[in-house]
Amino acid sequence: MPKRFMSLIGPFIGLILVIVLFGALEPAFLSTRNLMTVAIQTVIVGLGAIGMTFVIVSGGIDLSIGSVIALSSVVTALCVRAGLSPATSVAIGVAAGGMCGALNGWLVTRLSIVPFIVTLGMMGIARGVAKWLSAEQTVTPSPEASEALASLATKTATSPGIWITIALAVAMALVLKRTVFGTYTYALGSNEDTARLCGVPVERTKVWIYTLCGLFGGLGGVMTFARLSVGDPTTAIGKELDVIAAVVIGGASLAGGKGSILGSMVGALLMAALANGCNLTGVPNFVQEILIGAIIVAAVAVDRVRAARA
Amino acid sequence: MKTERDSNPLLLMSGVQKRFGGVVALGGVDLEVRRGEVHALLGENGAGKSTLMKVLSGAHAPDAGECSLDGAPYAPSGPQDALERGVAMIYQELNLAPELTVAQNVLLGREPRGALGWIQADEVQARVASALEALGAEELQPDTLVRDLGPGQRQLVEIARALVEDAQLIVLDEPTSSLSQGDTRRLFEVVKRLTGEGVAVIYISHFLEEVQEIGDRFTVLRDGETVGAGVVRETSLEELVALMAGRSLDEFFPKVPHEPGEVILELEALAGEPLPREASLSLRRGEVLGIAGLVGAGRTELLRALFALEPVRSGEVKLNGAVSPARSPRERLDEGVGLLSEDRKGEGLALDLDLATNATLSHMTPFSRGGWIQPSERRAAVERWIERLGIRCTGPEQRAGDLSGGNQQKAALARLLHHDVDVLLLDEPTRGVDVGAKVEVYRVIGELAAAGKAVLVVSSYLPELFGICDRIAVMHRGVLGPARPVDERTEEEVMSEATRGFKEEVA
């Protein structure tokens, strides 16, 4: 057991370091209000990272999640604008993401195309569909119609978005560690041939994994809409890389078989805290980008060194 | 022919110790290797051979003990340094770049360069050609891609690489485990050639027959210590086994009495794509049936087609008298048929996952409710198999890849036991497994038969088939011959069927 937590120490130390550093530079960083902002800024990448953890642990990758977030935000906005109830709009927005994921999974298994290519294709397709549905404009429902969903992303300690994310992270962490499905996910990523030999339903499990990732992308899209109150087909460009970075910083291996939801959440928080701290202290944007890039490489390097010593 | 210089050992290690945390890997190893000899290093997996070789290659620094090479203190800082001192390691898993040519691989990292850093093509040709000639492997073309070579030829390329560096001591780690008999003979010739020129060879192998043939002297390790050394010719197989395992050869194939019952599995002219071409047999409960044959005859393909991992072209599989056209391993497992893969690391186990997951992956229902796993129940189930099979590990959470070969194999076997299959298809169940673990695998096979399970064993090691099977069938070029009782067979006859095919059945 302790070994499992060992692999989380690196990202945790990184996160604490970032918090202490910016706290010292700018006391306002540690204010409740600002920490809530960090938490809210983590929500979208965090939700994506939950789904992405399953995909990466299974040895796959999903490059389409940024586009899926955009598509889902547009679909949600269209539903709200059409006067559907908030619950229905959320359900349809999440389902739109799930469909993209299911299609990814189906293509990966049925056509035996590597996930990188399938999801690279989906990245373009979902983005294109989002622009098509929105006629290449932001979809803006009336403020009254958006109100209910906007409350998901309020900047208070009771902000539902944060608690939904935490609850889902805990639930999915349990699913990954404690269910047959989660075990199959690790088995697929560790050695697909072994999984096949053991009668693991390889194809079906993969379709579920990509669908799950799509659903979380869809939820990320709903949250994006909640925050902006518009459906923007050009939102979340490049977000897939943030999500993948969060998962990798959290200790997952792109080769599969390794990773945890908790680690991915720490990774997502680390990136959000860094971005927020840099903004507060007036560090230019390009420095942030350099820092995040360096952290990704450092996180994997630390993991390497530790694995070599063990 | 021995000269004065030969009497001084080339490599001398004494009292070498190495511990990892609290685990003593080497507790005092003495090893003396002379020029021009083949020195067999024997020991079960976990005896400390790999650790010793890592000390020798500079991958690990010893905690205590003396090492000298050619009279000078020897403490390499790493494999490259070791190579510069003339010590080359050739591992089981060959380290070649398949997309590069023979010449590029042989000189990888030490290409002769001209003034501007350009590689000197004629110098490359000359050096590679001379290395291949020294091996007597002139038929290898320097510009062939390594990808197009067979395992035996690849090994020659590795050895050529060592020769280019003027190695005085070459370590061959299980060099024949993936070689055909022809390639093995070839390797022996190469080894003799090298030792004839004064190179020393440390030869690590589980195949004691090979050691008896090629080895000059030997050293046996057990539990991290040198427990014996001597001249191979003056030592019997029994003595070697006794030294390695601390047990005699009589106990090698433990006899568990078992009685064949009703027929459980029947194959009728089963054919795959492209192998096997035709396989018919019937297997009873409580019976161990062996399949002998050459590598490539289609034995593995037969098991895989039977287990629905490979497509079946024609023919029938009957289980308990009913035709069963299963389309996936899952369906076979549900019918009570399980396969132990010959490729333990590539397919048999998920090395990054823990022992518990590996042992239970095919059958998690006993300790899961609605898809949720009960960790304590799973732990208890796995601990039972650890105990029953004597798996040496730190616990169910240990990573499978960190287990020794024998214990990995037991973990893979534990999966079939845990699944409680009725028909076990075992493909080379003791390959790359140390003597102690072999005996335990044999014991488990016997116990399974006694418990009414049916066992089909594919093995390239004839004494093993004769030691554990009730009947043996031979596969030749994709066709499975008739299974006959072991007492009516001889090793010579089986070899002859394997190489030349079957005599006409006498009516």
For an interface test with B, give the residue of A58, A177, A194 to mutate (most B CBs within 10 A).
A194
In the predicted structure, residue A224 carries a pLDDT above the cut 90: yes
Rounded to an integer, what distance in angstroms lies between the CA atom of residue A264 and that of residue A251? 7
pLDDT in tens, B391-421: 988 889 999 988 888 899 999 999 999 999 9
More confident residue, A149 or B359: B359
Query: B211 with B239: CB under 8 angstroms?
Result: no
In the predicted structure, residue A2 carries a pLDDT above the cut 50: no
pLDDT in tens, A259-271: 999 999 999 999 9
> Closest residue of A to B327, CA-based?
A199
Among A28, A24, A51, A33, which residue's Cα sits nearest to residue A268?
Answer: A51
**Is A245 within a domain?**
yes
In the predicted structure, residue B22 carries a pLDDT above the cut 90: no
- Looking at residue B2, its pLDDT comes to 45
Among B64, B68, B6, which residue's Cα sits nearest to residue B31?
Answer: B68
**Is A51 within a domain?**
yes
Rounded to an integer, what distance in angstroms lies between the CA atom of residue A279 and that of residue A27? 13
In the predicted structure, residue A1 carries a pLDDT above the cut 60: no
Q: What is the nearest CA distance from A120 to chain B, expressed in angstroms?
A: 28
In the predicted structure, residue B359 carries a pLDDT above the cut 70: yes
Rounded to an integer, what distance in angstroms lies between the CA atom of residue A53 and that of residue A174? 13
Q: Is the ipTM of this complex over 0.95?
A: no
Same domain, B265 and B222: no
**Is B341 within a domain?**
no
Q: Is A9 helix (H, G, I), strand (E, B) or coil?
A: helix
Domain boundary among B362, B388, B420: B420
Rounded to an integer, what distance in angstroms lies between the CA atom of residue A185 and that of residue A309? 27
Mean pLDDT of A142-162: 83
Same domain, B71 and B100: yes
CA triple B53-B345-B325, angle to 5 deg: 160
pTM beyond 0.90: the answer is: no
pLDDT tier for residue B286 given thresholds of 50, 70 and 90: very high
Same domain, B231 and B276: no
pLDDT in tens, B89-98: 888 667 888 8
Same domain, B222 and B279: no
Mind giving me the DSSP string for B36-82? T-EEEEE--TTSSHHHHHHHHHTSS--SEEEEEETTEE---SSHHHH
More confident residue, A97 or B208: A97
Pick from B330, B358, B371: CB nearest A179: B371
Rounded to an integer, what distance in angstroms lies between the CA atom of residue A115 and that of residue B60? 39
Domain boundary among B420, B437, B462: B420
Mean pLDDT of A92-120: 96
Same domain, B362 and B429: no
Domain boundary among B376, B402, B420: B420
Rounded to an integer, what distance in angstroms lies between the CA atom of residue B96 and that of residue B422? 42
- Cβ-based neighbour number of residue B306 at 10 Å: 24
Same domain, B39 and B161: yes
Query: A252 with A176: CB under 8 angstroms?
Result: no
Contact B371 A181 (CB under 8 A): yes
- Looking at residue A72, its pLDDT comes to 97
Contact B350 A191 (CB under 8 A): yes
Pick from B329, B350, B397: CB nearest A187: B350
Among B400, B387, B382, B363, which residue's Cα sits nearest to residue B440?
Answer: B387
Can you tell me which residue has the tokens 């020794």?
B404
Rounded to an integer, what distance in angstroms lies between the CA atom of residue B331 and that of residue B363? 12
Q: For residue B498, what are the domain limits? A: 252-336+421-507
Burial B335-355 (b: 16+ CB within 10 A, else e): bbbbbbbbebbebbbbbbbbb
**Is A28 within a domain?**
no
Contacts of A199 in chain B (CB under 8 A): 328-330, 332-334, 362
**Is B344 within a domain?**
no
pLDDT in tens, B56-107: 988 889 999 999 999 899 999 988 889 889 999 888 667 888 889 999 888 8
Same domain, B410 and B427: no
**Is A298 within a domain?**
yes
Same domain, B432 and B397: no
In the predicted structure, residue B506 carries a pLDDT above the cut 50: no
Contacts of A191 in chain B (CB under 8 A): 346-347, 349-352
Q: For residue A59, what are the domain limits? A: 7-21+33-309
pLDDT in tens, B121-169: 888 888 888 888 888 888 888 889 988 888 888 888 988 888 888 899 9
Among A272, A237, A205, which residue's Cα sits nearest to residue A54?
Answer: A205
Rounded to an integer, what distance in angstroms lies between the CA atom of residue B174 and that of residue B187? 12
Amino acid at B229: A
Pairing relationship of beta strands B312-319 and B11-20 according to DSSP bridges: unpaired
- Looking at residue B1, its pLDDT comes to 45
pLDDT tier for residue A3 given thresholds of 50, 70 and 90: low
Mean pLDDT of A283-296: 87
Same domain, B287 and B433: yes
In the predicted structure, residue A254 carries a pLDDT above the cut 70: yes
**Is B287 within a domain?**
yes
pLDDT tier for residue A309 given thresholds of 50, 70 and 90: low
Same domain, B98 and B171: yes
Phi then psi for B317, rounded to 5 degrees?
-115, 125
* Residue A203 in contact with partner chain B when CB distance is under 8 A: no
- Looking at residue B337, its pLDDT comes to 96
What one-character DSSP code corresponds to residue B259? Answer: -
- Looking at residue B384, its pLDDT comes to 93
Q: Is B467 helix (H, G, I), strand (E, B) or coil?
A: helix
Window A:159-178, CB contacts with B under 8 Å: 178
* Residue B333 in contact with partner chain A when CB distance is under 8 A: yes
More confident residue, B492 or B271: B271
* Residue B95 in contact with partner chain A when CB distance is under 8 A: no
Overall domain count for chain A: 1
* Residue B357 in contact with partner chain A when CB distance is under 8 A: yes
On average, the pLDDT of chain A sits at 91
Pick from B350, B373, B415: CB nearest A179: B373
Overall domain count for chain B: 3
pLDDT tier for residue A115 given thresholds of 50, 70 and 90: very high
Rounded to an integer, what distance in angstroms lies between the CA atom of residue B242 and that of residue B281? 38
B238: its two tokens: 């029994």
Residue B97 to residues B21, B84, B120, B179, Cα–Cα distance (Å): 35, 21, 20, 19
> Closest residue of A to B374, CA-based?
A178
> Closest residue of B to A310, CA-based?
B20
- The CATH number linked to A59 is 1.10.3470
- The CATH number linked to B51 is 3.40.50.300
Query: B298 with B317: CB under 8 angstroms?
Result: no
